[in-house]
């Protein structure tokens, strides 16, 4: 099976969906001539032309709004934000227009569009450019939010996102674009939105996570396995709607849970996961659920401080041992 | 804050209980979990415990009288708290009116005593609604815990800290958490503590001989459900039409007991601690045979048959005014000495009516022995949803022909009642064949 990068997996998804449906088009900063700030759109301008691969000025609110209008008249825009930090400028179109249009129009306007781009911290990009926005976005009824952690999931979820008639947020990662994974080329991959995946299976504890942290969780599983501790890694893949059953099935089995995410603690995605666990699995818990997340500060620029602020494998391992009463 | 004392469902099938004896007087201070009274249920005499703290202000049910489950039989409250509204009709209307000055006079006259807000809230918080107990399935119904002083509480105001999972596991395995030492933070009792306690047999609800409650936690792996095939459905329907709700047939066999008798004599010669009864040996043999024939170790559940991987052997015990079937859990895995001790203890407690619900529910097959009454053979009635019961007759010396010569041998007749919806003739016969092999060659039981 071919091993490709996360970047190429997204590129394949875009190409296949643009070939499949000529209403699909890509729009954003540097997506066409420059082939994408992260080369996700490589070759698309050449294949589909400038009517379907559209460079925009540096006007996030503007081109997000053009995307909403295009979706209203039946096109299926894919709006690329160079990073989700820049998407803050467009948040009114995302939250007030895209997410609300079906509701406000009494069901007259579907919003078959995708907002995508890298989310979360990379390395030393400092406070304004190192933020994970999924809890903001997942808070909004009317949006769907996916956060693939592997090339396979990236391809399958972006394709589903493009085919969905509702606005779907696709959270990628600068640090993910170069990661590699198996992606079959002889079958169509479409991963249903709202389905988590049990990426590792164990009995001692569960890590529930999503996005980039799914990779961290798998490292954690590998390291703990050497110590004889086997854990479930539940990769949510979709944050909204969340696969509660996958969470509860795992926690009922292991009786212990760690919730790992890239973003901040307060009102984070993990808080919602913990709520589902306490509601559905109260009698199954042998220990309080522990969360692992970014420190509650703007991301520091200094390398050592940035490392200290980010969630990582060592912190997650300590959390697993805590819920197992090993430390 | 007042707490109602209600007649609780202390057995899975209890509808009313007779108050045998109050153990607290009006005016006595009571703690949460402390025993208030002894109550006779349809099966046994059980302890009714306080669900709140304070003074037992009122005993509303006299001794020897019965009350339906859910009926208010007492009130626990602070010494000076007004409880007139709680006891409702028991208090004179004028007192109730005086006690609740805010109450509308009309309501008092019409007999609908207004309940002060605080008291109404306290019902929800401090007492267990009896309806929930009734609705609970028998396997989860738990008797109230005796109020043991909490040695493991660790300066925690008498409260035992435990994880929700530990509480659930303890409840499922009949373990008293108060007797378990917690190893988690602040002495919290966690899963591994409960597992260790269950494994060591400590912390049972009875401080005497270890309770014969399940020694392993019940789980879905203990059995497999098999959907009914068309032929099973047809057999079930046709045979039910033919005979009663349980289409029973009977298989009788006569076993040679010479070797059992020899073994028993030889064991007794080794010393008192090796003495076992014929019944103990038969129980052990039945349990062993059931382990080899899970197809008769089953429950008929109407739309499916549940085959058990564990053998929980019910043993019918005659008591003064009836019959009860305490259970030897995991009997196939127990040594003869354990079965002997447990059956003796269960029979004794059954006669004293001290059995707890979890001790007489959950059997997967039953044995009834009337041999001691000199009954040669009889048919026992199946205890549904089980699908078989074995009736044991008396051991007697008989003239039999062996190798062409008449000789005397000790013989015993057993009759197996089989639910034909599940157990067909040949199946029951094979089970008895195995049982015969075990009983006629009792050394196999120690293999």
Position B102 scores a pLDDT of 41
pLDDT value for B216: 52
Identify the CA nearest to B12 among candidates B383, B364, B357, B363: B357
Average pLDDT over residues B367-391: 91
Q: Per residue, what are the HEC states of A17-38?
A: HHHHCCCEEEEECCCCCCCCCC
Give the CA diameter of chain B: 98
What is the per-residue pLDDT across A243-298, written as a single tens digit (0 to 9) for each? 999 999 999 999 999 999 999 999 999 999 999 999 999 999 999 999 999 999 99
Q: How far is CA B32 from CA B69, B157, B179, B277, B278, in A?
A: 20, 12, 17, 44, 46
Residues B273/B274/B277/B278 CA torsion (nearest 10 deg): 180
- Using a CB-CB distance cutoff of 8 angstroms, which residues of chain A are in contact with residue B192? 325
Q: Of A116-120, B84-88, B125-129, B313-317, which gets the smallest average pLDDT?
A: B125-129
Q: Is the confidence at residue B83, as pLDDT, over 70?
A: yes
CB atoms A285 and B165 under 8 Å = yes
pLDDT of A90 reads 97
Q: Which residue of B140, B142, B163, B220 is the best one to mutate when testing the A interface, meaning the one whose CB has the most A CBs within 10 A?
A: B163
pLDDT surpassing 50 at residue B133: no
Instruction: Count the residues in chain A.
Output: 327
Residue A239: both structure tokens together: 């944050």
Window from B134-148, B232-246, B267-281 with minimum mean pLDDT: B134-148
Share of chain B above pLDDT 90, in %: 35
Helices B278-292 + B425-440 axis angle, to 10 = 130
Q: Distances in Å between the alpha carbon of B443 and those of A200, B267, B339, B431?
A: 49, 12, 16, 18
Instruction: Check A286 against B183: CB less than 8 A apart.
Output: no
Of the candidates A232, A210, A211, A203, which has an alpha carbon nearest to the alpha carbon of residue A220? A232
Distance CA(B407)–CA(B400), nearest Å, equals: 6
- Burial label, A96 (beta-carbon count in 10 A; 0-12, 13-18, 19+): middle
Which pLDDT score, from 0 to 100, does residue A41 have? 97
Lowest mean pLDDT among A16-25, A129-138, A157-166, B96-105: B96-105
Q: Pick the residue from chain A with its C-alpha nearest to B166.
A: A286
Question: With bands split at pLDDT 50, 70 and 90, how would you rate the model's confidence at B331?
Answer: very high
pLDDT score recorded for residue B127: 38
d(CA A214, CA B328): 49
pLDDT of residue B239: 66
Percentage of chain B modeled with pLDDT above 70: 77
The architecture that CATH gives domain A197-323 is 3-Layer(aba) Sandwich (3.40)
Q: What is the pLDDT of residue B218?
A: 67
B249, B425 Cβ separation under 8 angstroms: yes
Q: Which of A252, A281, A286, A287 to mutate to test the interface with B (most CBs of B within 10 A)?
A: A286
For residue B350, pLDDT over 50 is answered with: yes
Q: Determine whether the interchain pair B191/A255 forms a contact, defined as Cβ–Cβ distance below 8 Å.
A: yes
Contacts of A284 in chain B (CB under 8 A): 164-165, 168
Answer whether residue B26 shows pLDDT above 80. yes
Q: Which residues of A touch B183 (CB under 8 A)?
A: 325
How close B155 gets to chain A, by Cα (Å)? 21
d(CA A244, CA B96): 51
In this model, does residue B112 exceed pLDDT 60? no
Phi, psi dihedrals of residue B91, rounded to the nearest 5°:
-95, 145
Helix residue spans in chain A (DSSP H): 6-20, 44-48, 60-72, 91, 101-104, 134-138, 151-163, 213-226, 244-254, 269-280, 303-309, 313-323
Contact A283 B168 (CB under 8 A): yes
Q: How far apart are CA B131 and CA B15, in angstroms?
A: 11
Per-chain mean pLDDT for chain A: 97
For A148-174, what is the mean pLDDT?
Answer: 97
**Nearest by Cα to B222 from B140, B315, B299, B165:** B299
Domains of chain B: 3-143 (2.40.50.100), 148-205 (4.10.320.10), 220-446 (3.30.559.10)
Quick check: do A3-182 and A197-323 share a fold?
Answer: yes
**The pair of three-digit structure tokens given for residue B247, joined into one six-digit string:** 């289409």
pLDDT band at B104 (very low <50, low <70, confident <90, very high): very low
Rounded to a whole number of angstroms, the CA Rg of chain B reads: 27
Average pLDDT of chain B, as a whole number: 78
Euclidean distance between CA atoms B85 and B83, whole angstroms = 6
Token match 């592997």: residue? Answer: A150
Nearest to A250 by CA among A229, A234, A228: A234
Supply the residues of B annotated as catalytic. 420
Confidence of residue B126 (pLDDT cuts 50, 70, 90): very low
| Residues A31, A44: Cα–Cα separation, whole Å | 9
Residues of A carrying an active site annotation: 60, 129
CA angle B191, B195, B201 (to 5 degrees): 145
Q: Which two tokens stand for residue B113?
A: 């005593």
Tell me how far CA of residue A228 lies from CA of A93, A231, A285, in angstroms: 50, 10, 21
Do B305 and B226 form a contact (C-beta atoms < 8 A)? yes
Q: Do B164 and A287 touch (CB under 8 A)?
A: no
Judged against a pLDDT cut of 80, whether residue B12 lies above it is answered with: no
Distance from CA of A255 to the nearest CA of B (A): 7
What's the average model confidence in pLDDT over A316-321? Answer: 97
Helix (H), strand (E) at residue A117: strand A114-118
Question: Is the model more confident about A115 or about B302?
Answer: A115
What pLDDT does residue B88 have?
Answer: 63
Spell out the domain ranges in chain A. Answer: 3-182, 197-323
pLDDT score of B97 = 38
B163 touches chain A (CB under 8 A): yes
Which CATH architecture describes the domain A3-182?
Answer: 3-Layer(aba) Sandwich (3.40)
Instruction: Please state which of the ranges A12-26, A285-299, B141-155, B274-288 shows the lowest mean pLDDT.
Output: B141-155
And the tokens for B244?
């009663």
Check CB contact under 8 Å for B167 and A287: no
The per-residue pLDDT for B202 is 56
Q: How confident is the model at residue B212 (pLDDT cuts 50, 70, 90)?
A: very low
The helix/strand/coil state of A145 is strand
d(CA B357, CA B13): 9
Cα–Cα distance list, A270 to A258, A289, A291, B75, B156 (Å): 9, 10, 7, 45, 31
Per DSSP bridges, beta strands A53-55 and A24-28 are parallel
Query: Is B125 a residue whose pLDDT tops 70?
Result: no
Contact B217/A at CB under 8 A? no
pLDDT tens-digit readout, A78-110 = 999 999 999 999 999 999 999 999 999 999 999
Query: What are residue B49's DSSP bridge partners?
Result: B35
Q: Taking CB atoms and an 8 Å limit, are B163 and A285 in contact across chains? A: yes
Q: Which whole number is the average pLDDT over A225-229?
A: 94
Q: Which of B183, B190, B219 to mutate to test the interface with A (most CBs of A within 10 A)?
A: B190
Under DSSP, is residue A301 helix (H, G, I), strand (E, B) or coil?
Answer: coil
State yes or no: pLDDT of A59 exceeds 50.
yes
Within a 10 A sphere around the Cβ of B33, how many other Cβ atoms?
Answer: 18
| Beta-sheet pairing, B29-30 with B54-59 | antiparallel
Q: Would you place residue B184 in the very low, low, confident or very high pLDDT band (cuts 50, 70, 90)?
A: confident
Q: What are B371's two structure tokens? A: 């041999």
- CB < 8 Å to B165, chain A: 255, 283-286
- Averaged pLDDT, B142-156: 39
The number of beta carbons lying within 10 Å of the beta carbon of residue B394 is 17
What is the rounded CA–CA span in Å between residue B122 and residue A179? 59
Q: Determine the Cα–Cα distance for residues A304 and A197; give it in Å rounded to an integer.
A: 33
pLDDT over 50 at B91, yes or no:
no
Q: What is the mean pLDDT of residues B199-217?
A: 49
Q: Strand, helix or coil at A107?
A: coil
How many Cβ contacts (< 8 angstroms) between chains A and B?
27
Instruction: Inspect the interface and report whether the beta carbons of A286 and B167 lie closer than 8 Å.
Output: no
Q: Maximum distance among all alpha carbons in chain A?
A: 59
pLDDT (average), residues B205-230: 60
A221 SS3 class: helix
Instruction: State the burial class of residue B317 (Cβ atoms within 10 Å of its Cβ: 0-12, 13-18, 19+).
Output: buried
pLDDT at B93 (0 to 100): 37
Give the model confidence (pLDDT) of B222-268 as tens digits: 788 888 777 777 777 766 666 677 888 999 999 999 999 999 999 88
Characterize the bridge pairing of strands A53-55 and B322-324. unpaired
* SS (HEC) of chain B: CCEEEECCCCCCCCCEEEEEEECCCCCCEECCCCEEEEEECCCCEEEEECCCCEEEEEECCCCCCEEECCCEEEEEECCCCCCHHHHHHHCCHHHHHHHCCCCCHHHHHCCCCCCCHHHHHHHHHHCCCHHHHHHCCCCCCCCCCCCCCCHHHCCCCCCCCECHHHHHHHHHCCECHHHCCCCCHHHCECHHHHHHHHHHCCCECCCCCCCCCCCCCCCHHHEEEEECCHHHHHHHHHHHHHCCCCCEEEEEEEEECHHHHHHHHHHHHCCHHHCCCHHHHHHHHHHHHHHHCHHHCEEECCCEEEEECCCCEEECEEECCEEECCEECCHHHCCHHHHHHHHHHHHHHHHCCCCCHHHCCCCCEEEEECHHHCCCCCCCCCCCCECEEEEEEEEEEEEEEECCEEEEEEEEEEEEEEECCCCCHHHHHHHHHHHHHHHHCHHHHHC
Confidence of residue B113 (pLDDT cuts 50, 70, 90): very low
pTM > 0.80: no
């Amino acid at each position: 099976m071919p091993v490709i990068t996360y970047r190429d997996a997204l590129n394949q998804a875009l190409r296949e969906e643009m070939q499949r449906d000529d209403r699909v088009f890509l729009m954003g900063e540097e997506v066409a001539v420059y082939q994408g700030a992260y080369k996700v759109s490589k070759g698309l301008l050449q294949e589909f032309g400038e009517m379907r691969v559209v460079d925009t000025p540096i006007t996030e609110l503007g081109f997000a709004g053009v995307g909403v209008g295009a979706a209203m008249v039946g096109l299926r825009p894919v709006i690329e934000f160079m990073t989700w930090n820049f998407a803050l400028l467009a948040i009114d179109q995302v939250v007030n227009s895209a997410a609300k249009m079906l509701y406000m129009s009494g069901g007259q306007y579907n919003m078959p569009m995708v907002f995508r781009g890298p989310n979360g911290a990379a390395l030393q990009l400092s406070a304004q450019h190192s933020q994970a926005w999924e809890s903001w976005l997942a808070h909004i009824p009317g949006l769907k939010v996916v956060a693939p952690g592997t090339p396979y999931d990236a391809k399958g979820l972006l394709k589903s996102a493009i085919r969905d008639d509702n606005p779907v947020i696709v959270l990628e990662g600068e640090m993910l674009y170069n990661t590699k994974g198996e992606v079959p080329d002889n079958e169509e991959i479409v991963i249903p939105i709202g389905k988590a995946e049990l990426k590792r299976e164990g009995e001692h504890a569960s890590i529930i996570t999503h996005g980039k942290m799914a990779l961290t969780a798998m490292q954690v599983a590998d390291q703990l396995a050497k110590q004889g501790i086997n854990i479930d890694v539940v990769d949510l893949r979709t944050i909204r709607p969340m696969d509660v059953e996958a969470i509860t099935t795992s926690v009922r089995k292991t009786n212990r849970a760690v919730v790992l995410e890239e973003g901040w603690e307060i009102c984070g995605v993990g808080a919602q996961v913990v709520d589902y666990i306490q509601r559905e699995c109260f009698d199954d818990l042998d220990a309080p659920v522990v969360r692992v997340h970014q420190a509650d500060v703007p991301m520091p620029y200094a390398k050592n401080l940035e490392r200290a602020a980010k969630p990582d494998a060592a912190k997650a391992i300590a959390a697993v041992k805590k819920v197992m009463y090993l430390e | 804050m007042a707490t109602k004392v209600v007649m609780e469902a202390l057995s899975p099938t209890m509808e009313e209980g007779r108050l045998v004896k109050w153990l607290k007087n009006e005016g006595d201070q009571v703690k949460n979990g402390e025993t208030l009274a002894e109550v006779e249920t349809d099966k046994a005499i059980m302890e009714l415990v306080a669900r709140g703290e304070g003074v037992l202000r009122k005993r509303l049910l006299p001794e020897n009288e019965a009350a339906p489950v859910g009926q208010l039989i007492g009130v626990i409250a602070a010494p000076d708290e007004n409880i007139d509204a709680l006891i409702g009709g028991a208090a004179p209307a004028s007192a109730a009116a005086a006690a609740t000055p805010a109450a509308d006079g009309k309501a008092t006259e019409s007999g609908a005593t207004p309940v002060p807000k605080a008291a109404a809230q306290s019902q929800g918080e401090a007492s267990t609604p009896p309806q929930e107990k009734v609705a609970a399935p028998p396997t989860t119904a738990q008797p109230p815990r005796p109020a043991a002083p909490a040695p493991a509480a660790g300066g925690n105001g008498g409260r035992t800290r435990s994880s929700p999972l530990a509480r659930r596991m303890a409840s499922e395995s009949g373990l008293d958490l108060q007797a378990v030492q917690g190893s988690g933070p602040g002495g919290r009792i966690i899963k591994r503590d409960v597992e260790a306690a269950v494994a060591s047999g400590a912390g049972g609800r009875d401080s005497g001989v270890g309770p014969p409650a399940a020694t392993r936690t019940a789980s879905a792996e203990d059995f497999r459900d098999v959907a009914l095939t068309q032929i099973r459905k047809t057999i079930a329907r046709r045979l039910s039409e033919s005979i009663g709700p349980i289409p029973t047939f009977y298989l009788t066999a006569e076993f040679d007991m010479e070797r059992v008798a020899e073994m028993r004599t030889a064991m007794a010669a080794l010393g008192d601690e090796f003495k076992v009864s014929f019944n103990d040996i038969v129980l052990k043999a039945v349990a062993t045979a059931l382990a080899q024939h899970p197809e008769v170790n089953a429950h008929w559940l109407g739309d499916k048959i549940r085959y058990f991987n564990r053998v929980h052997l019910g043993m019918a015990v005659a008591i003064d005014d009836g019959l009860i079937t305490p259970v030897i859990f995991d009997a196939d895995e127990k040594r003869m000495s354990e079965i002997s001790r447990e059956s003796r203890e269960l029979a004794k407690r059954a006669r004293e009516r001290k059995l707890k619900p979890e001790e007489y529910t959950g059997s997967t097959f039953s044995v009834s022995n009337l041999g001691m009454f000199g009954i040669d053979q009889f048919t026992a009635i199946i205890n549904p949803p089980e699908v078989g019961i074995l009736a044991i007759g008396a051991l007697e010396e008989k003239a039999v022909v062996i190798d062409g010569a008449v000789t005397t041998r000790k013989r015993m007749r057993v009759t197996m009642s089989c639910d034909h919806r599940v157990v067909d003739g040949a199946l029951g016969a094979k089970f008895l064949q195995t049982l015969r092999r075990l009983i006629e060659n009792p050394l196999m039981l120690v293999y």
